[in-house]
Amino acid sequence: MNREHYLSATPWEPVVGYSRAIKVGAHIHVSGTTATNAEGIIVGENDAYVQTIQSLKNIQDALEALGADLHDVIRTRMYVTNIGLWEEFARAHGEYFQDIRPATTMVEVSKLIDPKMLIEIEAEAISDPSSHSANTSGDGD
């Protein structure tokens, strides 16, 4: 089966040996994604909401590069360093997925690779290219 890789050009991908996302058939798996911008700088230091938004934007970019979008997401996993901030993480996630409603998990972890990182999000999607051309209104139907 054909594999497509999406590389975000962060310095860690070649060192660790991973792709930001991989598509095999209709299935897309997005690796744990943090609030880093294109230069690898963490966005929203000490702000759970802003970091979640940036992480989701990064996931959206990966999906779009592989011919999918957020409507194709069936599961997310959120790894957070402070579960006490769950409402901020959840509010941002809800803004992106209010009408999509993927299965999701949020768990607290002791730390992420950089102490400034508050959240890391994984996503799984199943892409049906025919549905993208059929639904261009953006209304979620």
What percentage of residues in the chain have a pLDDT greater than 90? 80
Residue 137's pLDDT band (cuts 50, 70, 90): very low
Asked, for residue 65, whether it belongs to a domain, the answer is yes
CA angle 115, 119, 124 (to 5 degrees): 140
Asked, for residue 138, whether it belongs to a domain, the answer is no
Asked, for residue 139, whether it belongs to a domain, the answer is no
Number of domains in the chain: 1
Q: Report whether pLDDT(134) > 50.
A: no
**Structural domain boundaries, residue 23:** 3-132
Asked, for residue 38, whether it belongs to a domain, the answer is yes
Phi, psi of 139 (to 5 degrees): -90, 0
CATH number, position 49: 3.30.1330.40
User: In the structure encoding, which two tokens stand for residue 3, read together?
Assistant: 């594999």
Asked, for residue 141, whether it belongs to a domain, the answer is no
The mean per-residue pLDDT over the stretch 93-112 comes to 98
Q: Beta-carbon neighbour count of residue 122 at 10 Å?
A: 17
Give the model's pLDDT for residue 38. Answer: 83
pLDDT tens digits, one per residue of 4-53: 999 987 777 888 999 999 999 999 999 999 999 988 899 999 999 999 99
Phi, psi of 134 (to 5 degrees): -80, -25
Q: Beta-carbon neighbour count of residue 3 at 10 Å?
A: 9
Helices in 38-134 by DSSP H: which ranges? Answer: 48-65, 86-97, 129-134
What contacts 24+ positions apart, CB below 8 Å, involve 129-136?
129/67, 131/71, 132/67, 132/68, 132/69, 135/71
